[in-house]
């Protein structure tokens, strides 16, 4: 049996002005180049638990309009995709099926919309892929399979994680590779469409397994840059420190996502620096409590942190770790003044890097359910708008057009060559000052 792992790849935006801007603004171009080339870790992971008697090939499809001939000579294909490209994934699946190829679909969108996905697949897997994969493969080999394998009630133990088959990749195509150290998040943000939707409980992968994955990557790429495909790496500070200590001898540069609480732990920050952390991405979401109220649904945690943002960014960056602060525009309660507030906060904070996105109602999220109830979704199944750069709902305190136009304005302000350069310069001069102060305190200057 020949199995094709087909990853939908590349980045997307429908907003034409923004797409045009993306081609010209240096900050935007740089960020897009960095993230656009990442492989599907989900498929590589499942490839790692596929029996040896099945031939596996990994293929990436960026734009189905470019696919004249279907890739490979497969008996079965497993297609991965997120909401933004799900319609393209369905079109591809339909073509494979018309050619007699068995199609398996799974992942975040399929878990949120199983009925829809089933119309384009022979088999769907909802929830995490690992608990179902061996059964799916066994049933396929026997020629007797089910149409739905639902793992939502059987959480996967990351201690049994298979080794992703990184060797299936043509590594020259990538500027970084991903490793996952955890799934889920202890917080519950209304808009979050990430791993919490398939793994409601926060869980970590044992340190030795993470290190084994990095060592495997180093066999095919001696000095890799690692992006942790995590949502919130350092929730458990004790585990985080253990991971960081084990990372130090690996001598890799890495990037991850975390919440702001890391700023309160100097030992953790020191270990992050010593183990090669190049950047940590933090969802600040809004510089004002207005936008943050109600975002985190368990204890309004995000709104409670906003007063500490400036000091926290300063603390993290003073350890030589750059912070990529993420802001969501169009949050309920925020109006047209929110764009200037973000711009001003970014320059006041000294953030090295910034990411702005538009609030997006992804299927399966509490936000989607609420906006649907309130009749505020512009089109309930316009999944192609789930790009984080397009508007798929009616904002509460501005019009859709105001949100779009001001977003483009903010992108111009933040990603101009001048602004990007000023942020980098400010980071290094602050760091220089911190180092000098430390020297004086230690008495080195005398």
The contact set with ligand B12 (CB under 6 A) reads: 7-13, 35-36, 38, 40-42, 45-46, 78-85, 104-109, 125, 128-130, 178, 180, 193-195, 198, 229-231, 362, 386-389
Question: In whole angstroms, how close is the CB of 368 to ligand B12 at the nearest point?
Answer: 10
Q: Which one, of 325, 315, 196, 198, lies nearest residue 266 by Cα? A: 315
Residue 186 burial class via C-beta count within 10 angstroms: exposed 0-12, middle 13-18, buried 19 and up = middle
Rounded-to-integer distance, Cα 216 and Cα 310, Å: 39
- Beta carbon nearer to ligand B12, 46 or 431: 46
- Beta carbon nearer to ligand B12, 194 or 318: 194
- Beta carbon nearer to ligand B12, 109 or 315: 109
Query: Which residues are within 8 A (CB) of 401 and not within 5 positions of it... i.e. 6 or more apart?
Result: none
For residue 119, the tally of other CB atoms under 10 A from its CB is 10
Question: In whole angstroms, how close is the CB of 46 to ligand B12 at the nearest point?
Answer: 6
Question: In whole angstroms, how close is the CB of 45 to ligand B12 at the nearest point?
Answer: 5
Task: Give helix 417-442 / helix 26-36 axis angle, nearest 10°.
Answer: 80
Rounded-to-integer distance, Cα 266 and Cα 93, Å: 49
- Beta carbon nearer to ligand B12, 125 or 292: 125
Q: Which one, of 222, 228, 251, lies nearest residue 240 by Cα? A: 228
- Beta carbon nearer to ligand B12, 180 or 324: 180
Task: Give helix 417-442 / helix 309-317 axis angle, nearest 10°.
Answer: 70
The residue number with the shortest CB distance to ligand B12 is 106
Residue 285, strand partner residues: 327
Question: In whole angstroms, how close is the CB of 307 to ligand B12 at the nearest point?
Answer: 25
N-terminal to C-terminal alpha carbon distance within the chain: 73
- Beta carbon nearer to ligand B12, 46 or 316: 46
Per the CB < 8 A criterion, the answer to whether 136 and 149 are in contact is: yes
Residue 152 burial class via C-beta count within 10 angstroms: exposed 0-12, middle 13-18, buried 19 and up = middle
Per the CB < 8 A criterion, the answer to whether 22 and 32 are in contact is: yes
Question: In whole angstroms, how close is the CB of 257 to ligand B12 at the nearest point?
Answer: 6
Return the structure tokens found at 348.
């006041």
Q: How many helices (H) and strands (E) does the chain have?
A: 17, 14
**3-state percent helix, strand, coil for the chain, nearest multiple of 5:** 45, 15, 35
- Beta carbon nearer to ligand B12, 198 or 217: 198
Question: In whole angstroms, how close is the CB of 358 to ligand B12 at the nearest point?
Answer: 10
- Beta carbon nearer to ligand B12, 191 or 427: 191
Question: In whole angstroms, how close is the CB of 356 to ligand B12 at the nearest point?
Answer: 12
- Beta carbon nearer to ligand B12, 18 or 431: 18
Per the CB < 8 A criterion, the answer to whether 96 and 106 are in contact is: no
Question: In whole angstroms, how close is the CB of 160 to ligand B12 at the nearest point?
Answer: 12
Question: In whole angstroms, how close is the CB of 60 to ligand B12 at the nearest point?
Answer: 7
Size (the chain), residues = 446
Question: In whole angstroms, how close is the CB of 135 to ligand B12 at the nearest point?
Answer: 11
Q: Is 67 helix (H, G, I), strand (E, B) or coil?
A: coil
For residue 98, the tally of other CB atoms under 10 A from its CB is 9
- Beta carbon nearer to ligand B12, 350 or 363: 363
């Amino acid at each position: 049996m020949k199995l094709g792992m087909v990853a939908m790849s590349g980045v997307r935006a429908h907003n034409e002005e923004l797409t045009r801007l993306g081609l010209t603004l240096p900050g935007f171009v740089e960020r897009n180049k960095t993230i656009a080339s990442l492989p599907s870790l989900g498929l590589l992971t499942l490839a790692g638990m596929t029996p040896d008697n099945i031939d596996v090939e990994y293929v990436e499809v960026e734009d189905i309009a470019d696919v004249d001939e279907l890739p490979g000579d497969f008996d079965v294909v497993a297609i991965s995709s997120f909401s933004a490209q799900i319609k393209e994934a369905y079109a591809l699946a339909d073509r494979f099926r018309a050619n007699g190829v068995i199609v398996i679909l799974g992942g975040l969108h399929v878990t949120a919309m199983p009925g829809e996905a089933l119309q384009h697949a022979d088999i769907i897997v909802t929830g995490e892929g690992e608990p179902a994969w061996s059964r799916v493969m066994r049933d396929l080999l026997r020629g007797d399979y089910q149409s739905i394998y639902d793992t939502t009630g059987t959480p996967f133990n990351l201690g049994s994680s298979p080794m992703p088959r990184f060797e299936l990749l043509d590594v020259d195509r990538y500027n970084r590779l991903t490793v996952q150290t955890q799934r889920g998040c202890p917080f519950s943000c209304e808009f979050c469409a990430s791993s919490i939707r398939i793994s409601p409980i926060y869980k970590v992968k044992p340190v030795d397994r993470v290190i084994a994955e990095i060592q495997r990557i180093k066999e095919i790429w001696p000095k890799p840059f690692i992006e942790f495909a995590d949502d919130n790496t350092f929730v458990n500070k004790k585990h985080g420190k253990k991971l960081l200590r084990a990372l130090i001898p690996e001598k890799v540069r890495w990037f991850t996502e975390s919440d702001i609480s890391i700023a309160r732990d100097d030992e953790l920050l020191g270990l992050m620096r010593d183990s090669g952390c190049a950047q940590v991405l933090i969802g600040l979401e809004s510089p004002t409590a207005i936008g943050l109220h109600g975002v985190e649904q368990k204890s309004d945690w995000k709104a409670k942190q906003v007063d500490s943002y400036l000091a926290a960014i300063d603390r993290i960056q003073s350890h030589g770790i750059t912070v990529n602060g993420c802001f969501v525009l169009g949050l309920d309660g925020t109006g047209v003044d929110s764009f200037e507030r973000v711009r001003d906060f970014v320059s006041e904070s000294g953030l090295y890097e910034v990411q702005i996105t538009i609030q997006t109602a992804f299927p399966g999220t509490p936000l989607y359910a609420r906006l649907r109830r309130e009749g505020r979704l512009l089109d309930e199944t316009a999944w192609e708008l789930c790009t984080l750069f397009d508007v798929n709902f009616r904002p509460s305190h501005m019009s859709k057009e105001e949100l779009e136009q001001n977003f483009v304005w903010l992108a111009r302000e933040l990603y101009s060559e001048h602004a990007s350069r000023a942020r980098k310069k400010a980071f290094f001069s602050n760091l220089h000052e911190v180092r000098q102060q430390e020297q004086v305190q230690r008495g080195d200057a005398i």
